A = this chain, B = another copy of it.
Amino acid sequence: MKVIAVSHGSFSKGLVESVQMLVGQQEDLVAYGLYPEQTVQTLTEQLEEELKKTPEGEEVLFLTDLFHGSPFNAVVSLMRDYKFHHITGINLPIAITILLERSSTDSIEALCRKAEETAAETVLYVNKLFEEKEEEE
Protein backbone atom coordinates (compact mmCIF):
# COMPACT_ATOMS: atom_id res chain seq x y z
CA MET A 1 0.00 0.00 0.00
CA LYS A 2 1.39 3.36 -1.06
CA VAL A 3 0.65 6.47 1.03
CA ILE A 4 0.70 9.87 -0.69
CA ALA A 5 0.45 12.97 1.51
CA VAL A 6 -0.72 16.15 -0.27
CA SER A 7 -1.08 19.64 1.16
CA HIS A 8 -0.75 23.37 0.77
CA GLY A 9 2.97 24.18 1.10
CA SER A 10 5.29 22.04 3.20
CA PHE A 11 2.77 20.59 5.69
CA SER A 12 2.79 17.17 3.98
CA LYS A 13 6.59 17.16 3.76
CA GLY A 14 6.85 17.98 7.48
CA LEU A 15 4.27 15.31 8.28
CA VAL A 16 6.24 12.65 6.41
CA GLU A 17 9.53 13.74 8.01
CA SER A 18 8.09 13.73 11.53
CA VAL A 19 6.30 10.41 11.07
CA GLN A 20 9.60 8.84 10.01
CA MET A 21 11.35 10.26 13.08
CA LEU A 22 8.82 8.30 15.13
CA VAL A 23 8.35 5.03 13.27
CA GLY A 24 11.50 4.86 11.15
CA GLN A 25 12.18 5.29 7.44
CA GLN A 26 9.18 4.16 5.39
CA GLU A 27 8.92 2.78 1.88
CA ASP A 28 6.01 3.82 -0.34
CA LEU A 29 5.42 7.06 1.52
CA VAL A 30 5.69 10.29 -0.47
CA ALA A 31 4.69 13.94 -0.03
CA TYR A 32 3.52 16.57 -2.50
CA GLY A 33 2.88 20.23 -1.77
CA LEU A 34 1.06 22.97 -3.62
CA TYR A 35 3.36 25.98 -3.55
CA PRO A 36 2.52 29.61 -4.40
CA GLU A 37 4.52 29.55 -7.66
CA GLN A 38 2.63 26.47 -8.86
CA THR A 39 -0.84 25.82 -10.33
CA VAL A 40 -3.33 23.19 -9.13
CA GLN A 41 -3.09 21.71 -12.64
CA THR A 42 0.65 21.08 -12.21
CA LEU A 43 0.06 19.42 -8.84
CA THR A 44 -2.70 17.24 -10.32
CA GLU A 45 -0.35 16.14 -13.12
CA GLN A 46 2.35 15.23 -10.58
CA LEU A 47 -0.14 13.16 -8.59
CA GLU A 48 -1.36 11.43 -11.75
CA GLU A 49 2.25 10.56 -12.62
CA GLU A 50 2.64 9.07 -9.14
CA LEU A 51 -0.51 6.97 -9.66
CA LYS A 52 0.63 5.82 -13.11
CA LYS A 53 3.95 4.56 -11.79
CA THR A 54 2.31 2.61 -8.92
CA PRO A 55 2.45 -1.14 -9.71
CA GLU A 56 -0.93 -2.59 -10.71
CA GLY A 57 -2.66 -4.19 -7.74
CA GLU A 58 -0.90 -1.98 -5.17
CA GLU A 59 -3.45 0.00 -3.21
CA VAL A 60 -3.06 3.76 -2.74
CA LEU A 61 -4.14 6.01 0.11
CA PHE A 62 -4.07 9.81 -0.22
CA LEU A 63 -3.82 11.91 2.93
CA THR A 64 -4.78 15.54 2.36
CA ASP A 65 -4.62 18.55 4.63
CA LEU A 66 -7.99 20.27 4.34
CA PHE A 67 -11.52 19.44 3.16
CA HIS A 68 -12.33 21.51 0.04
CA GLY A 69 -8.80 22.94 -0.17
CA SER A 70 -7.05 22.98 -3.56
CA PRO A 71 -4.87 19.91 -2.83
CA PHE A 72 -8.04 18.06 -1.71
CA ASN A 73 -9.75 19.10 -4.95
CA ALA A 74 -6.77 17.95 -7.03
CA VAL A 75 -6.98 14.49 -5.44
CA VAL A 76 -10.78 14.33 -5.80
CA SER A 77 -10.50 15.17 -9.52
CA LEU A 78 -8.38 12.00 -9.91
CA MET A 79 -10.99 9.82 -8.16
CA ARG A 80 -12.96 9.71 -11.40
CA ASP A 81 -10.27 7.85 -13.35
CA TYR A 82 -8.31 6.07 -10.62
CA LYS A 83 -9.29 3.82 -7.76
CA PHE A 84 -7.74 4.81 -4.41
CA HIS A 85 -8.63 5.76 -0.86
CA HIS A 86 -8.56 9.29 0.53
CA ILE A 87 -8.57 10.70 4.06
CA THR A 88 -8.60 14.47 4.60
CA GLY A 89 -7.76 16.54 7.70
CA ILE A 90 -4.79 14.34 8.54
CA ASN A 91 -2.84 14.73 11.78
CA LEU A 92 0.28 12.99 13.08
CA PRO A 93 -1.38 10.33 15.30
CA ILE A 94 -3.66 9.15 12.48
CA ALA A 95 -0.79 9.09 9.97
CA ILE A 96 1.26 6.97 12.39
CA THR A 97 -1.60 4.50 12.97
CA ILE A 98 -2.04 4.10 9.21
CA LEU A 99 1.67 3.54 8.56
CA LEU A 100 2.03 1.07 11.41
CA GLU A 101 -1.05 -0.92 10.43
CA ARG A 102 -0.98 -0.74 6.63
CA SER A 103 0.96 -3.98 6.18
CA SER A 104 -1.09 -6.03 8.66
CA THR A 105 -4.63 -4.80 7.96
CA ASP A 106 -7.03 -7.10 6.11
CA SER A 107 -8.74 -4.15 4.49
CA ILE A 108 -7.56 -0.65 3.68
CA GLU A 109 -11.21 0.43 3.84
CA ALA A 110 -11.51 -0.82 7.42
CA LEU A 111 -8.29 1.01 8.33
CA CYS A 112 -9.63 4.27 6.85
CA ARG A 113 -12.98 3.89 8.60
CA LYS A 114 -11.17 3.27 11.88
CA ALA A 115 -8.99 6.36 11.32
CA GLU A 116 -12.10 8.47 10.82
CA GLU A 117 -13.98 6.98 13.76
CA THR A 118 -11.13 7.40 16.22
CA ALA A 119 -10.15 10.91 15.06
CA ALA A 120 -11.79 12.60 18.05
CA GLU A 121 -9.58 10.61 20.41
CA THR A 122 -6.42 11.98 18.76
CA VAL A 123 -7.22 15.69 19.26
CA LEU A 124 -7.18 16.61 22.94
CA TYR A 125 -7.48 19.81 24.95
CA VAL A 126 -4.78 18.92 27.46
CA ASN A 127 -5.88 21.37 30.17
CA LYS A 128 -9.37 19.87 30.21
CA LEU A 129 -7.92 16.37 30.31
CA PHE A 130 -5.73 17.20 33.31
CA GLU A 131 -8.63 18.90 35.12
CA GLU A 132 -10.77 15.79 34.68
CA LYS A 133 -7.92 13.62 35.93
CA GLU A 134 -7.52 15.81 39.03
CA GLU A 135 -11.24 15.60 39.74
CA GLU A 136 -11.07 11.82 39.56
CA GLU A 137 -8.21 11.65 42.05
B92 close to A89 (CB less than 8 A): yes
- Compute how far the CA of A112 lies from the CA of B21 in the bound complex, rounded to whole angstroms: 28
A100 adjacent to chain B (CB < 8 Å)? no
Secondary structure type dominating chain A contacts: helix
B88 close to A22 (CB less than 8 A): no
Residues of A in contact, count (CB < 8 Å):
49
A17 — which chain B residues lie within 8 A by C-beta?
9-11
A67 — which chain B residues lie within 8 A by C-beta?
93, 122, 124
Copy tally for this chain in the complex stands at 2
A119 to B, closest residue via Cβ: B123
**Contact pattern, A 6-27, Cβ under 8 Å of B = 1, otherwise 0:** 0111111111011001100000
A92 close to B125 (CB less than 8 A): no
A116 to B, closest residue via Cβ: B125
A87 close to B123 (CB less than 8 A): yes
A85 adjacent to chain B (CB < 8 Å)? yes
- Compute how far the CA of A11 lies from the CA of B9 in the bound complex, rounded to whole angstroms: 12
A14 to B, closest residue via Cβ: B14
A89 close to B87 (CB less than 8 A): no
Shortest CB-to-CB span from A126 to chain B, Å, is 4
A123 close to B94 (CB less than 8 A): yes
